[in-house]
Structure 1
Amino acid sequence: MKLIINTPAGPDSKAGNRATAVRWQRLLQESGHQVTIETEYQGAQCDVFIGLHAWRSAAAIKAFKRAWPDTPLIVVLTGTDIYHHQHAYPEATYESMDLADLLIGLHDRVGQDIPERYESKLLTLRQSADRPESIGGSRLEPGQFHICVLGHLRDEKDSLRAAIASHHLPEDSNIIVSCAGKPHSDAWRELALQESRSNPRFHWLGELNASELGTLVAVSSVMVISSVMEGGANVISEACRAELPILASDIPGNRGLLGDDYPGYFPVKDDRALADLMARAENDEEFLAALKKKVVKLAETFEPEQERQSLEKALALVVQPKD
């Protein structure tokens, strides 16, 4: 089939929406489809249109449906769609959801966080990640316990929470927090620089390439995901595939991927609770092993082949077989 994926993130962007679009393009091409990625809808005809982001892609979604009202439309719900835009901009967000023939959610709890009327058109899909050459903790450095934080520095990610938490650690702790990601604004850049200067336990590494990220994961014993909202963070997929234990904020997007029985949650923005978990991971071998056992078990749910099959299922649900 001829497919169009519309994402608001441009070709040079490393935002999650762009990474998802590029990964889906590759997986769908492996299935034999012709896939084009657009940031603005140009009016082209296709067999299925996939809009990444109900609110940010609202104009493209409306334009597509005006041009081709009988062609299937899939809308992918992001974290900001679910936990911000449907409340702040309900008209545009719900219009996209109403126009969709199928909605894709990226974690298991999405259905609980959108209006019940959309339940019948919701499909849950888990984003995948490749298994890295070096798994988490495979290159541990003696005398240091590395904790990594990956992703753009922005309010939704609460990106410096692990750095703030490290101020509460005992003096004899060997924890080092390394944060890799591009700042969303000049204000975030300055916050990261100030924390790096004043906190000997914290290093902001800026935006890293894939090889550098692989090295950071390999020397890390734990990853912290401190977001205040997530639609289904691909970094969880990456950590699980790397067998890297996670300490995660207790939000629906994280529970929807890690499960209710995951032992590594802390209350949102609670740096003291996070510090306690960080210290426990450093000093309690059984706790760290329990976290690792969980992520290793979850890793199989984030395999690329499973995501490819989920995408094929989504297409099958919206495309009527021809006689």
Structure 2
Amino acid sequence: MRIVLITPAKRGSKAGNRATAVRWARHLRALGHRIDVAVDYDGRPADLMVALHAWRSAAAVERFRERYPGRPLILALTGTDLYRFLATDPEVTVRSMALADRLVVLHDLAHEALDPSLRHKVRVIHQSALPLARHRRPPTRYFDVCVIGHLREEKDPFRAAYAARGLPAGSRIRIVHLGKGHGPEWEDEARDEMRRNPRYLWRGEVPFARVRETMARSRLMVISSRMEGGANVVSEACVARLPVIASDIPGNVGLLGPAYPGYYPLEDSAALATLLLRAERDPAFYRALKQACTARAPLFTPARERRAWKSLLAEVTARESEDLEPPGRQGRQGVTEIPDP
């Protein structure tokens, strides 16, 4: 098939939407399809559309559906779709969802944000990650905690830095933050935090190889986001056997599982500080975090992600009709888990 894959992130962008689109394109090409990755839909011939972002890609979804009313359209929902635009612009966001044949989500609790009338369309496809090429010996001078994410409101990016401010003098914890500031004010704040907080080191936007190297040298990762659609950095951490401490939002719980021991209440610096210090000083707790992350790693293999896409494409092309009945196992609230062939 010829598939057009729409992402709002331009070529060369290090945004998560672009990385996801590039990885999916690679899987789809490996399955034998021709893939055109574009920021918008220009009317080019296509047998199927995969669009990332219900709100930002709404015009592309509308144009494809007008041109090809009977051809399959798969819409991937992002964190801002689920946890912002459904509230701030429901007309546009829900319209895109209504036009789609299937809704791809990236974590197991995403369906809870949707109206029950849309949940039969939902398919969960976990984002995959590759193991680290090698594990470096962490520095002994520091207990490095990495934060990997751009500096913007949704990420609550300085929460780990705030938590580290009040740690006791004997702690070796250092926060190493990788990510671009979304505007000069964010970068100014990061530099100011470094000046006032000796435990915080911001390295800005770095190549992916440097991200992997930082993960390999870290003892822990913090993901402090206010909203997530299913962050690939969590998949990366689990596959790398890097323990995670995460805010207790649906996007994190939906990836790590409800029983994961490393959650803290959103925006609670004191609770996060307590967990950081416990991970540093309590070997049993640290092992529990590591074991829990490692147990989730099989969800995030490239082979599993590719099989999920193969199953989904077979599903939507088998019956190109308006009243598709979803096959496979029916999960909670009518959400289908794509079965491994």
Q: Which residue of 2 aligns with 1:143?
A: 141
% identical equivalent positions: 47
Q: Counterparts in 2 of 1:81-120, with a 5 A limit?
A: 81-120=81-120
Query: Offset of 1:70 from its aligned partner?
Result: 1.1
Tell me the secondary structure at the aligned position of residue 318 of structure 2. Answer: coil
Tell me the secondary structure at the aligned position of residue 287 of structure 1. Answer: helix
Tell me the secondary structure at the aligned position of residue 276 of structure 1. Answer: helix
- Distance in 2 (alpha carbons) for counterparts of 1:216 and 1:241: 15
Which ranges of 4 or more aligned residues in structure 1 deviate by more than 6 Å?
A: none
Q: Would you say the 8 A contact 2:132–2:216 is kept in 1?
A: no
Query: Offset of 1:184 from its aligned partner?
Result: 1.1
- Distance in 1 (alpha carbons) for counterparts of 2:311 and 2:17: 20
Deviations 1:122-176 (A, max 9, x none): 10110001111124xx421112100000011111011110001001211110001
RMSD: 1.0
One-letter amino acid matched to 1:142 = T
Query: Given the alignment, which residue of 303, 307, 310 partners 1:309?
Result: 307
Instruction: State the number of aligned residues.
Output: 320
One-letter amino acid matched to 2:102 = L
Query: Offset of 1:179 from its aligned partner?
Result: 0.2
Query: Offset of 1:312 from its aligned partner?
Result: 1.1
Q: Which residue of 1 aligns with 2:185?
A: 187
Query: Given the alignment, which residue of 270, 273, 293 partners 1:272?
Result: 270
Deviations 1:60-103 (A, max 9, x none): 11111111111110000100000000110000000000000000
Q: Which residue of 2 aligns with 1:282?
A: 280
- Distance in 2 (alpha carbons) for counterparts of 1:321 and 1:126: 24
Q: Which residue of 1 aligns with 2:163?
A: 165
Tell me the secondary structure at the aligned position of residue 234 of structure 2. Answer: helix
**Where do 5+ consecutive residues of structure 2 fail to align?**
321-341
One-letter amino acid matched to 1:239 = A
Q: Would you say the 8 A contact 1:247–1:265 is kept in 2?
A: yes
Q: Which residue of 1 aligns with 2:291?
A: 293
Q: Which residue of 1 aligns with 2:337?
A: none
Deviations 1:227-265 (A, max 9, x none): 000000000000001100000000000000000000000
- Distance in 2 (alpha carbons) for counterparts of 1:103 and 1:282: 40
Query: Offset of 1:321 from its aligned partner?
Result: 6.5
Task: Please state if 1:78 is matched with 2:73.
Answer: no
Deviations 1:264-288 (A, max 9, x none): 0000010110000000000000000
- Distance in 2 (alpha carbons) for counterparts of 1:258 and 1:214: 20
Q: Give the TM-score, by structure 1 length.
A: 0.97
Q: Counterparts in 2 of 1:18-97, with a 5 A limit?
A: 18-97=18-97
